[in-house]
Amino acid sequence: MAAAASLLLALLPGAAAATEESPVSLPRCGEVSQATVHNGVVVAPWRVVLDQEGAVTGHRLTLRHDGADTTLRTGRRGFSISVGADRVAIGEHRGDGTRLTMVDTRRACRVWTRTMERLVYPERERVDDGALRFTTHDPDTRRYEGTLLVNLETGASDGLIDGECIEACTPNDGDISLTAFEPAGVARPTPSFSGGGWPKDKALPFRWRSGGVPPTWARPPMKAAAADARRTSASRSPRFTYAADATNAVAYTGNPPSYCGGSAIACAGRSLPTYWGIWLRPHGTDYAWGTLRWCQKASSSGGCFDMRRVMLHELGHITGLTHPSTAGFTLAASDSVMQGITPMRPQSGSSRHAFGRCDVATLQELYDSTDNKTAISTCNDVATKLMLTISKAAVGRGGPVKLTAQLRVANWNAYRQLAGNPLKGRSVKLKYRRVGSDDWRIAWMKSLYSSGRYELTISPQATWEFKAVFPAPSTEGLRYSRSGIVKVRVKS
């Protein structure tokens, strides 16, 4: 759930140690004298409380009123919604229901308390015409049931919109059929942000964010994902490494930036060319679909999320990759780690620790391939250009002639960093025939240098015609191409 980010944070001296109590323990606002000084402020905004192992144990918000501090606390399944400058709704899921309390922070009292027999979750702190908007979910199946409107002043239900669904509730991360990860059509490169990428081979070190240092068990999978991002990109994409003195940071926190939304288990942000950050929510965080369980912390291998895989997904965002759904298509879990919905173990792709071929296709376009011999991803469909030249146009019978082919990626803007690249170490055929014959014979040319050159020396006995052919390989995403025909005349 989103934190009450808009609440005023004030550091005032001289208050006594805070007392802790449930929001329902506050006096009703109707019982508070109008003569009471209305000077309450929030001195510690809504925060997630973690145990020593990094699991969520509760939530807290501290008010200061008339010189005394009061900390309002909930259990692990609590949430809050900022409502204007001086009100906050504090909720808690208890068993199969939800208890919601509207708190007046300036008067340090509760406007109303409401108990509902369903699990309700805020719709991104949305307020519609004087009502809070919630999604409701069945306590047993966690299936979405409808949208509930709760009056800000009374807590009464203004309406239940059955059958309506919104982006935040469908599909639910923890309740996805395997078909949700099947491609909608032919595999294609993962889409990228319009801002492009970082400089080639850019070093992007990271540290643990102050106030969001991961527990000991969470650090190895995060660091391993950083190595995975470099090892499996087949490109000159950024190099992620941990460094305690780094400028940019990764956080394990229940209070990520507001743009992360309330339904994400992790999120990333970047501002080229200097800033980036990643936030992962803690083990035990409560969602509409269930409880977040990281596999590295959970006692079983099923029904949990692989933190290493999730971290790799977020690093993909930092490099420039976005969700396929933003471009209107879906990629199979075997082709990408960038799906907007994270697969839960044991679903397909839930333990993938490598960029998929469609991720690699885009990374190669953004950053170039590692070198001219690196295979172009099979998720791509890249045109090639093949040219053939001869050392002599005419020779005596049996005289040597060197034929040189040049193989490159087509110089098209759509291929970005790959455009015009020479292609080394491929298989290039030389076809030849006597002038006037339809009988083409085949020889294979030898790959030379990093410039994509292929050579073959022949000793023709008659006037021959030659052309070079690059057959489309099954192991990479390059198209067939051929050169024009050249002729070597044999002088009598």
* Tens of pLDDT, residues 249-293: 999 999 898 888 888 899 999 999 999 999 999 999 998 888 999
Predicted confidence (pLDDT) per residue in 288-329, tens digit: 888 999 999 987 778 899 999 999 999 999 999 999 988 988
Query: Residue 179: its pLDDT value, please?
Result: 38
Q: Which domains, and CATH codes, for the chain?
A: 19-162 (2.40.10.480), 178-367 (3.40.390.10), 384-491 (2.60.40.1930)
Find, among 315, 307, 356, the residue nearest to 334 by Cα. Answer: 356
Q: Cα-flanking dihedrals φ and ψ of residue 7, to 5°?
A: -70, 145
- Of residues 212 and 178, the one with the higher pLDDT is 212
Report the pLDDT value the prediction gives residue 126, as an integer from 0 to 100: 60
With contact defined as beta carbons under 8 Å apart, do 413 and 426 qualify? Answer: no
Which pLDDT band, with edges at 50, 70 and 90, does 4 fall under? very low
As given in the structure block, the two tokens for residue 245 are: 């003195």
Q: Find the length of the chain.
A: 492
- The pLDDT value recorded for residue 385 is 97
Amino acid letter, 34: Q
Average pLDDT over residues 143-151: 83
* pLDDT of amino acid 279: 96
Q: How many CA atoms lie within 13 A of 492 on its CB side?
A: 0
pLDDT band per the 50, 70, 90 thresholds, residue 239: very high
